[in-house]
Amino acid sequence: MKPSSDIARLLEIMAALRTPQTGCPWDLEQDFASIAPYTLEEAYEVVDAIERGDLADLRDELGDLLLQVVFHARMAEEQGIFAFPDVVEAITQKLVRRHPHVFGEAKNLAPEQVKALWDDIKREEKAERRQAREQMGLPPEPHEAGFLGGIPTALPALTRAQKLTTKAAKVGFDWPDAAQVIDKIHEELEEVKEASLSGDRAHIEDEIGDLLFSVTNLARHFGIDPEKALRRTNAKFERRFGSVEAGLKAQGRNLNDASLEEMEELWVQAKLSERKA
């Protein structure tokens, strides 16, 4: 079977991999739950390629992400639930419906009007999904309940915290300005200190969670994506730690040979070098 730029060939390859007796043993033993972590991982790798500005890698990572969609669709088709064309139809239908200013009669809208229209349509879709589940005798989706419903629980925690507070802010449940959020962070930090003295792991975890939630709220007030900010800091830490390691290697030493003070000195040098660059 030859590679091709035709999506039909990709679907054929996936079907072959999932064919009993002749397919791939690993692919055959997978299900939705076992593949889900790979789906998340591939999405992150797409983001990583974008942030590194590596467009050649982006092409490959988008292919890996597309494979995840094809994989899930194939498993659903095997169960007689839906197939890949149904996935395509669903998203095209959604895009047309959510863009009446492009495909319908709502013309010449300002960006804020487009956003408001998008939110209205999403609410309509949510109500229709709820009604359809009721007609099918299915219970409501747990994450759809209440005003904050509809925010996927599988999102990274920082991203989900940002979306939760953004949605709550739409009905006025929010700190008026960033200064009050900073005060809240100081308050939460004191509570972490108090909890740390108790030795109660669950209590400490709760208070650290509250602190992280408040920091995420602060990022939102400044229009900053907390997940992206933390990824940048992770990359910065990795880069500077690499400089520490390289500095020790230049001295004929390794990390296990160095004291904390020596590593800290090399760390400061790395920081200064970055600021001068």
In angstroms, the CA 74 to CA 19 distance is 11
Q: Which two tokens stand for residue 52?
A: 């590194």
Burial status of residue 61 (CB atoms within 10 A of its CB: 0-12, 13-18, 19 or more): buried
Instruction: Give dist(CA 153, CA 252) in Å, integer.
Output: 48
- Measured between alpha carbons, how far is 128 from 93 in angstroms, rounded to an integer? 14
Q: What angle do CA 42, 47, 50 make, to 5 degrees?
A: 130
Q: How far is CA 67 from CA 62, 77, 88, 272, in A?
A: 9, 15, 14, 44
User: Any idea which residue has 């890698």 for tokens?
Assistant: 57
The pLDDT tens digits for 56-89 are 999 999 999 999 999 999 999 999 999 999 999 9
Determine the Cα angle at 198 with ends 183 and 195, to 5°. Answer: 15
Give the mean model confidence (pLDDT) for residues 131-151.
Answer: 74
- CA distance linking residue 277 with residue 264, whole number of Å: 20
- Tell me the pLDDT band of 179, cut-offs 50, 70 and 90: very high
Q: Among 116-125, 156-165, 212-221, which range has the highest average pLDDT?
A: 212-221
Do 82 and 76 touch, CB atoms closer than 8 A? yes
Measure the CA–CA gap between 64 and 41, rounded to whole angstroms: 10
Please compute the mean of the pLDDT values over residues 151-159 and round it to a whole number: 85
Looking at residue 129, what is its pLDDT? 78
What is the share, in percent, of the chain residues with pLDDT greater than 90? 69
- The rounded distance, in Å, linking the Cα atoms of 41 and 47 is 10
- Secondary structure of residue 116 in the 3-state scheme: helix
pLDDT, mean of residues 130-151: 74
pTM higher than 0.85: no
Mean residue pLDDT of the chain comes to 91
Checking phi first, is residue 3 left (phi over 0); if not, alpha (psi -120 to 50) or beta?
A: beta
Cα–Cα distance, 161 to 224 (Å, whole number): 13
**Amino acid 142: pLDDT:** 61
What tokens were used for 253?
Answer: 């030493």
DSSP string covering 134-193: HHTTPPPPGGGSSTTTTS-TTS-HHHHHHHHHHHHHTTT-S-SSHHHHHHHHHHHHHHHH
